[in-house]
Amino acid sequence: MLKPIIAALLLVASAPAAFAQAAPQAPAAHPVFTLDALPYATNALVPVIDKETMELHHGRHHRAYVDNLNKAVGSDPALKALSLEQLMARVSALPKAIRDNGGGHWNHRFFWGLMAPEGQRGQPSARLTAAIEKQWGSLNAFKAAFQQAGTSRFGSGWAWLILKEDGTLAVISTPNQDNPLMDLAPVKGQPILANDVWEHAYYLNYRNRRGDYLAKWWDVVNWSRVNALHDEAVALNR
């Protein structure tokens, strides 16, 4: 009863008859995972991260992880029913392409939100500062540990600040696109902060000087977001 009415409305509402005829057909195959727009302009983090790096990093590298993740999930209904986090939690039992590209998608989606344009970055909260000081003695000592995790990662990977299940903060690094949510991660926890130390993240501006990139990167960190992630991780642990 409803269908003819909707079809008639479509015919009236949309001028091209071809469109109206196409509408009732089965929807075309659609991707499970999609690439969200960056939360700021590609030049918003200049001079720490240049516009071309942001364009390539988001538009090419992150897009490739999303496209390849969709290919890896394919038409398997069991995989398509799982969220990205659910895929991470059982990634050891899944095809390697899901570890690489699912990790790549999760990590980059997380990473963009950890940075913000000038004026929107905030400062570490009193709660986060206290937790960091308890673990490392000072914010600067924590930053040194985080940078060390990034510079000492051989090849490609990530540096992380995580909240472990025992309630303590830890700095770790992971290879490739692994992350601390994966069941196979040697140290697991809720990610609070992360930096990408793949060469594609810094090479145009910093060449081989990964340490310089890690040191400058603090200037664009979105502490407001990091504070919220810390609050959420603490709440999850309760």
Least Cα distance to 111 among 34, 201, 11, 30 occurs for: 201
Residue closest to Mn ion, measured at CB: 196
Nearer to Mn ion, 33 or 82 (CB): 33
Minimum distance from residue 104 beta carbon to Mn ion (Å):
7
Minimum distance from residue 111 beta carbon to Mn ion (Å):
7
Minimum distance from residue 198 beta carbon to Mn ion (Å):
5
Give the Cβ contact number of residue 92 at 10 Å: 10
- Alpha helices of 23-83 — where are they, by DSSP H? 51-56, 63-73, 77-80
Least Cα distance to 146 among 133, 137, 163, 158 occurs for: 158
Binding interface with Mn ion (CB under 5 A) = 196, 198, 201
What are the start-end ranges of the E strands in 79-224? 157-163, 169-175, 190-196
Minimum distance from residue 135 beta carbon to Mn ion (Å):
27
Nearer to Mn ion, 148 or 156 (CB): 156
Nearer to Mn ion, 128 or 196 (CB): 196
Least Cα distance to 182 among 111, 115, 105 occurs for: 105
Give the Cβ contact number of residue 120 at 10 Å: 14
Nearer to Mn ion, 60 or 71 (CB): 60
Minimum distance from residue 218 beta carbon to Mn ion (Å):
18
Minimum distance from residue 105 beta carbon to Mn ion (Å):
11
Nearer to Mn ion, 69 or 201 (CB): 201
Nearer to Mn ion, 181 or 201 (CB): 201
CA distances for 52 relative to 188, 202, 218, angstroms: 33, 10, 20
Looking at residue 189, its amino acid is G
